[in-house]
Amino acid sequence: MTASKARELLGILLDRVEDKPDRTRPPSEAAPTDFQSANDREAFLRILADAERNGGISVVKGRGEARHLIDRIRLRDASTLYTFLGRVPADELAREAVAKLRAQSPAQGTDVAQALDVIAAGWLRGERPLGLGRERLDQAAEFIVALQAALTRDTLDRRDLRTYSGQVTGDSKLMERQASRIVAFLKEIGRLDAGLSDHQAMASLGLEKFPQPVLISGPVRVGAADFCQLVYVGIAPEQAPLVEPSAPTRSLVTIENLASFNRHVREARLAGDVVVYTGGFPSRAVVAALVAISRWPASRIIHHWGDIDEGGLRIALNLSSVVSIPVVPHLMTPELAQQHGAPTKPVKLLTLPPDHPWHILVDFLRSDEARRLEQERIDPQPISDDRRGDHRR
């Protein structure tokens, strides 16, 4: 046991104090019994003797026949041992890190200020908020910059993720590196749905490498381009808010899964039906298209078809929150889930009022009889005439 190893052992005593600062009994460590050489033993004992003379530790000897041997090393005074080892207390290091972070990351906006407060409070408690320890000051500052950029992005900004990150933060890959942390924080404060994947969450913020086109089928046009004769069309994200009806519309359907969308537009779409692929949680471009479509004079209701599970319900409720007309289930009933689905644990969704279009499915998935159903297992069916204006079914 060399002198350096002895200092490491003394450092463990301080580690235990920092890990549990409110402890009532001083920490202690067992003394080693084996040494590679007599010199190692002497070096170890010299360090202990010096530390004990300085008042930082107490050397506890054994009893009886072992009274000449060291049994344990007990911390006597932490501040003295810090000085002896030339070590800065963790709480002091945390205060310094917090001060540096605040100095180089001035918060702009309530949410960014809250993020700074979360990190600062965690560091002062000896924690690693958002996976960031105080020793990762550079990454914490980078996160604040990335979060600021994400929250201040204009909804009309069409720059792809790397271009936007490079022009706003000076590093084209900075926002990608911090994406998981941005999403985790925004979920934590309720700004993003907890069911979103990182990719879906970033897309909902308009932060994608290259935003996907909005896939729409039916009597629609953008400017002079009429797409009613096509199976479906991909509309560029920046043109999504410009979509208009090119002929009388019969119904509006949104579909979560790409395979089901492809089948529906080929097998079940009737003349006048407008069908939009949401791609899971809708991106900003999909939301922009749906908001525009929901304002058409003939738009009264959206029929949504997705998975019958917690994620599918969250997508449906998200759609309900972004458009001004009712969103109702299509091929999403407890009966279909019981017939074709698989058992699942009850989900943790808020109870909805009895007049809400989704309350029956939510209550079913909250119950012990809950079953999940992937929409691909169901064949597409057209919207019947008697359901086109009924938001209660």
pLDDT in tens, 33-51: 777 788 888 888 888 889 8
Q: Are 214 and 237 in contact (CB under 8 A)?
A: yes
Task: For residues 310-317, give the mean pLDDT.
Answer: 92
For residue range 66-102, list pLDDT tens digits in order: 677 787 889 998 889 888 998 889 888 999 999 999 9
180 and 249 co-located in one domain: no
Chain-centroid distance, C-alpha 298: 38
Query: Which pLDDT score is estimated for 393?
Result: 38
Q: Is residue 31 a part of any domain in this protein?
A: yes
Query: Which pLDDT score is estimated for 151?
Result: 92
359 and 219 co-located in one domain: yes
Query: Which pLDDT score is estimated for 247?
Result: 95
pTM over 0.85: no
Q: How far apart are CA 28 and CA 31, in angstroms?
A: 9
State which residues form the domain around 96: 90-204
For residue range 162-189, list pLDDT tens digits in order: 999 999 999 999 999 999 999 999 999 9
Q: Are 185 and 115 in contact (CB under 8 A)?
A: yes
Q: Is residue 342 a part of any domain in this protein?
A: yes
Of 85, 108, 143, the position where a domain reaches its end is 85
Q: Is residue 392 a part of any domain in this protein?
A: no
Torsion of CA 121, 125, 129, 133, to 10 degrees: 110
Token representation of residue 146: 């990335």
**Of 234, 267, 246, 361, which is closest to residue 306 (Cα–Cα)?**
361
Token representation of residue 172: 């084209």
